[in-house]
Amino acid sequence: MHTPIYLDYHATTPVDPRVLDAMLPYFGPQFGNAASGTHSFGWQAEGAVELARRRVAALMGASAGEIVFTSGATESDNLAVKGVVGAACEAGHGAPHFITMASEHKAVLDSAHTLEKAGCRVTVLRPRADGLIDLDQLREAIAADTVLVSVMYANNEIGTIQPVREIGAICREKNVRFHCDAVQAFGKVPVNVEADGIDLMSVSAHKMYGPKGVGALYVRRKNPRVAVAAQMDGGGHESGMRSGTLNVPGIVGLGVACEVAAREMAEDHARVSGLRDRLKARLEAELDGVRVHGTMEHRLAGNLNCSFADVEGDALLVGLPELAVSAGSACNSHGGGGSHVLRAIGVEGEWLHSSVRFGLGRFTTGEEVDYAAGRVVEVVRQLRAARPV
């Protein structure tokens, strides 16, 4: 067993060796530009991109023509939120209304802020204490001028899986488009844009054992066809929705990551949730004052987010150099004020600043989990013993 032990799978995942192998030729002899239509270098690259497009589409029940490749989910979220609201503006809807949640990723929340500054009305719903959306609140928030609802599939900090199908049904009933940031769920739990009633969906390769810097946005083409205003001007790639030369090796990697997930998702899920439950059981058995954030019922298999009474999260992390875990999310690890997600679900005071997020995944072993649990127990006890009375 090597330390540090990586338990931060929500921040990023290791690249699966099968993904890496598939990508390598596209950094070497198969370097063609997928948009070069006049020679075999271009055709090969294009063929590889189209195969990847079919694989990404297959894992979400979409058709290949509905996949727009991007530089990652931050771009996908921006394109979905600003693109749909922007297209509504262009279609003469004035200043449309947008609805999202306080526990969303910053890529969605900051896009909402930009829309607000541009004169749009934005409603930010607060999740319930268990992290789930209040569906009645959503229903009430949808107004005649609402054009888009954006709610994530699974939360990157507390792992809460939202009732996406119900959200999709409400949006469908009210004739409002539904964007879902599915970065943490895609490839981990079954996602289907038809059954779930999703109109736009963001995914990212590096959260599902693919490379960093590549992702996709699903954009529904029929029933109804969704209009998205491009956010980047250029060569008109990706049906005009996202100009820019395609990242061929990255896209190939995303495609293989989807293909592997399709085959191994169920097995991974069972194994990883078993390990997570073992970690939780041991922490709770050996320590008092453990508070798990979010619900255990609708939760990602690899997620455990908890606070330890009378222990500062930062001090705990400093005491655990052999574990790669995070306090809150990677995006929040630069700022003070505590996690916006924990605040949104009403976590306060010392609980807010003592949270640790454990993220387990495909390559986590039982031995690693047992070692990690033992070290956390030790360090929490030490810190509590050293506290001034």
Which residues bind to ligand PLP, rule: CB under 6 A?
Answer: 72-74, 77, 105, 107, 152, 156, 181, 183-184, 204, 207, 215
In the bound state with ligand PLP, the residue whose beta carbon lies nearer, of 52 and 183, is: 183
DSSP state of 104: S
Give least dist CB 383 to ligand PLP, A.
29
Q: Which is nearer to ligand PLP, 111 or 184 (CB)?
A: 184
Residue nearest to ligand PLP (CB): 72
Q: At closest approach, how far in Å is the CB of 245 from ligand PLP? A: 18
Residue 129 CB contacts under 8 Å (≥ 6 apart), including other chains: 345, 346
The CB-of-164 to ligand PLP minimum distance in angstroms stands at 13
CB of 298 to ligand PLP, least distance (A): 16
Bridging pattern class, strands 290-292 and 200-204: unpaired
β-pair type (5-6, 97-101): unpaired
Q: CA gyration radius for the chain?
A: 21
Active site residue 306: no
CA distance 180 to 178: 6
Question: Which is catalytic among the residues 89, 120, 180, 331?
Answer: 331
* Nearest to ligand PLP of 108, 356 (CB atom): 108
- Asked if residue 130 lies in contact with residue 78, where contact means CB atoms within 8 angstroms, the answer is no
Using DSSP, state whether 271 is helix, strand or coil: helix
Residue 3: count other Cβ atoms within 10 Å of its Cβ.
13
The nearest distance, CB 207 to ligand PLP, in angstroms, is 6
Give the list of residues 6+ apart from residue 36 with CB closer than 8 angstroms, or none: 42, 45
Query: What is the closest distance, in whole angstroms, from the C-beta atom of residue 248 to ligand PLP in the complex?
Result: 18
10 Å CB burial of residue 61 (0-12, 13-18, 19+) is middle
HSE-up of residue 11 (Cα within 13 Å, Cβ side): 16
Whichever of 44 and 305 has its CB closer to ligand PLP, that residue is 305
Q: Which is nearer to ligand PLP, 287 or 345 (CB)?
A: 345
In 61-130, which residue ranges form alpha helices assigned H by DSSP? 73-90, 106-117
Handedness of CA 307, 313, 315, 321 (dihedral sign): positive
Taking the least distance from each CB to ligand PLP, the nearer of 78 and 364 is 78
Phi and psi at residue 361, to the nearest 5°: -160, -160
Crossing angle of helices 248-286 and 366-385, rounded to 10°: 50
**Residues carrying an active site annotation:** 331
